[in-house]
Structure 1
Amino acid sequence: MTDASDDLPGDPPPAEAPLTRRDAANLRKSGADGEQNADFQSHVRAARSEFESQVAQARAEFEEANERIKQRTGRDLIVAILIGLAIGAVLIASLIFFKWVFVLFCLAAVLLGMFEFGRALIGSGRKVDLIPQLVIGAVLVLSGFFVGLWLHWVVAFVAVALVIVWRLIAQMFAKDGRTYGAVLGDVLIAGFLQLYVPFLGSLCLILLRQDGGQWWVLAFIIIAVASDTGAYATGLSFGKHPMAPRISPKKTWEGFAGAALAALIAGVLLAMFMLGLPWWTGLIIGALVLGTATAGDLGESMIKRDLGIKDMSSWLPGHGGVLDRLDSILPSVVAALALFYLFSPLAA
């Protein structure tokens, strides 16, 4: 028996067996496969590097464009779009599938808007009773869904009377030497706060409880949003001529033209395919919602300018406050409710 230790140091190494044709072919094939694999990996790395470079360039260009938009409008476009899509999804789902969820959604939005507005008024030196305002406002909003139309007007009158009386009694106990003019202003603001936010919000719930009312609520909100989006896009791209420089310097006539086009197109499409109405009614619906949405937007801008603030709050990044998103929707409820009673007999 021998092993490796039996080989002498001077002995020549054993001769290797000659390669067969098959072995040589396999070696050549293995070499070719290795070269192809290396080339493939090289192409993959090059394609990956090119893709990453293009993504980085596109991201840099988008961030640069977003920064220019943010400097011009004061809004973060990406965050605003994401929040808008999330709110829109909740809104559509609640209207179509669960009306009671929309009732809660509307109540929450109204109370948050009231709270924002009340805090802004207090910051400007006004006396606002926030807790009574919120409690009475909640009752007023819910009455729109749970009581009849005429009884709701009684609830609205009582709500305004209660907040006014509460403010007068609170002022009597305060004894802070507040002037007659300031007290009168506080009283008028107390009533206005109820009428501006919860009363208009309650009209939306009155429309919701009607037969097919959820589609009307969705339609007028879509038109108001389309108007706002059209104004934003065209104003940002082509805006040169200020519409109301003393109220809102960034609003332009070009933006209003874009808002009008978007509102009319949305009105016609929604009238035909959602509400089952003739196409010409869509022009009327779009025009009226355009007018009320624009008036509401300018009205809130005037209020904020008088209060010396840019936004009611910063609760919705990219949008401002809740009331900043409701400014065009709340007045449009009045137009939508009136149009429902006018055009619903024409529905197919």
Structure 2
Amino acid sequence: MRQRPDGAGPDDSSPAQKSTLGSRRADFDARAQAARHDIENQLRAGKARLDSRNEKLTARTGRNLPAAIAVGVLLGAAVLLSLIFVKAFFMIVAAALIGSLCFELASALRFAGRDVPRLPSVLAGVAVVPAAFYGGAGGHWAALVGGIVVVSLWRLVELARPSHRGGASSLGRDLGAGAFVQIYCSFLGSFMVLMAARPDGQWWTLSALIVVIAVDTGAYATGLNFGKHPMAPRISPKKTWEGFAGSVAASLIAAVLLSVFLLDEPWWFGLVFGGVIIVTATIGDLSESLIKRDLGIKDISTWLPGHGGFLDRLDSTLPSAAAAYGLYLLFA
């Protein structure tokens, strides 16, 4: 009688039993391998279907919609939480956004041949935010003027350097472009900060942002599904009158609800509020499209997946911020 290799006792298993066990083990291994291959094939097929759907959705919408939604949610969460809990943190978020706007636009202008210095443009733009938050309207205006002066002086110093390749013939155009960056990005954008710093201003700021989002979402969803008649084909070929109608409906509904339940204003103020934001948001969208067409670019940058750049995402917000602040002064 054979002994087990471990010395624990005699090995009673017959060759037939060992053959059966080996056959079962081989059968189990084969089934496990087949199941693994089947799962891998199903995962690959599922990924292929998902990629195909994303490609069709991207072709239809013109952007990576899942990435756009994810970026929008992250930005919205940062703004919402900072407005509700810590106003100073909203100032920091706004400073980061405005600095990004200034850098994007200055870079785009440089690409088109306007010699706009990026570093002072960003620093001057960021400086407007705390000036508006702590200094009110006076600080807001003073920081704007100071920023334009700093950017202009920087450009003049660059021109005086022997190593600078630019000429004086384009100086006026360059100075105007530098001032435009400060007015368009930092001055208009910081109206939200100016409003948030005032009593109950955070709720007005939040309401204005929500209505702007309603304008963009209503226009996008309606235009995507029903858009047939171009609104401004030479400026923005994808913008349609059907999309504009959707933005009107969405923004008015949002504005009325916010006026009654968040701002403690009468319902009719929501019609005024929504109507004003519809106009300013549409102007902001078309203005940025006109700027990009003039510069010969599709997107201001590629920093935000699914959106392009920060300015592509916030173009409707810039003029709407100034309009919302004006309504706050009149009604709040």
Same fold, judged at TM 0.5 (above): yes
| Structure 1 match to 2:290 | 302
Matches within 5 A, 1:3-14: none
**Do residues 289 (structure 1) and 277 (structure 2) align?**
yes
Instruction: Provide the C-alpha distance between the structure 2 equivalents of 1:90 and 1:307, rounded to a whole number of angstroms.
Output: 31
Instruction: Provide the C-alpha distance between the structure 2 equivalents of 1:325 and 1:226, rounded to a whole number of angstroms.
Output: 13
| Structure 1 match to 2:148 | 160
Instruction: Provide the C-alpha distance between the structure 2 equivalents of 1:153 and 1:343, rounded to a whole number of angstroms.
Output: 22
Deviates more, 1:218-227 or 1:114-123: 114-123
| Structure 2 match to 1:132 | 120
SS in structure 2 at match of 1:313: coil
> Out of 194, 202, 208, which is 2:182 matched to?
194
Instruction: Provide the C-alpha distance between the structure 1 equivalents of 2:123 and 2:234, rounded to a whole number of angstroms.
Output: 35
| Contact persistence 1:142–1:202 (CA under 8 A) | no
| Structure 2 match to 1:111 | 99
Instruction: Provide the C-alpha distance between the structure 2 equivalents of 1:221 and 1:63, rounded to a whole number of angstroms.
Output: 33
Amino acid at match of 2:293: R
Instruction: Provide the C-alpha distance between the structure 2 equivalents of 1:110 and 1:177, rounded to a whole number of angstroms.
Output: 27
| Contact persistence 2:222–2:246 (CA under 8 A) | yes
Q: 1:164: how far off? A: 2.0
| Contact persistence 2:98–2:185 (CA under 8 A) | yes
| Structure 1 match to 2:266 | 278
Q: 1:64: how far off? A: 4.8
Per-residue CA deviation, residues 18-49 of structure 1 (Å, 9 max, x unaligned), is xxxxxxxxxxxxxxxxxxxxxxxxxxxxxxx9
SS in structure 1 at match of 2:185: helix
Matches within 5 A, 1:35-184: 60=49, 64-173=52-161, 176=165, 178=167, 180=169, 182-184=170-172
Per-residue CA deviation, residues 83-102 of structure 1 (Å, 9 max, x unaligned), is 21122122111110111111
Structure 1 gaps of 5+ residues are 1-48
Instruction: Provide the C-alpha distance between the structure 2 equivalents of 1:202 and 1:71, rounded to a whole number of angstroms.
Output: 35
| Structure 2 match to 1:319 | 307
Deviates more, 1:244-253 or 1:136-145: 136-145
Deviates more, 1:188-197 or 1:164-173: 164-173
- Aligned identity (percent) is 48
Q: 1:57: how far off? A: 8.0
Instruction: Provide the C-alpha distance between the structure 1 equivalents of 2:328 and 2:153, rounded to a whole number of angstroms.
Output: 35
Amino acid at match of 1:194: Q
Q: 1:154: how far off? A: 2.4
- With the length of structure 2 as denominator, give the TM-score of the two structures: 0.82
Amino acid at match of 1:333: A
Matches within 5 A, 1:225-240: 225-240=213-228
> Out of 217, 220, 223, which is 2:208 matched to?
220
Structure 2 gaps of 5+ residues are 1-37
Matched residue pairs, number?
290
SS in structure 2 at match of 1:158: helix
| Structure 2 match to 1:328 | 316
Deviates more, 1:113-122 or 1:260-269: 113-122
Instruction: Provide the C-alpha distance between the structure 1 equivalents of 2:52 and 2:222, rounded to a whole number of angstroms.
Output: 19
Q: 1:172: how far off? A: 3.1
Change (3 A) 1:64 1:278: farther
RMSD after superposition: 2.1
Per-residue CA deviation, residues 161-199 of structure 1 (Å, 9 max, x unaligned), is 22223223322335646252x221111001010111111
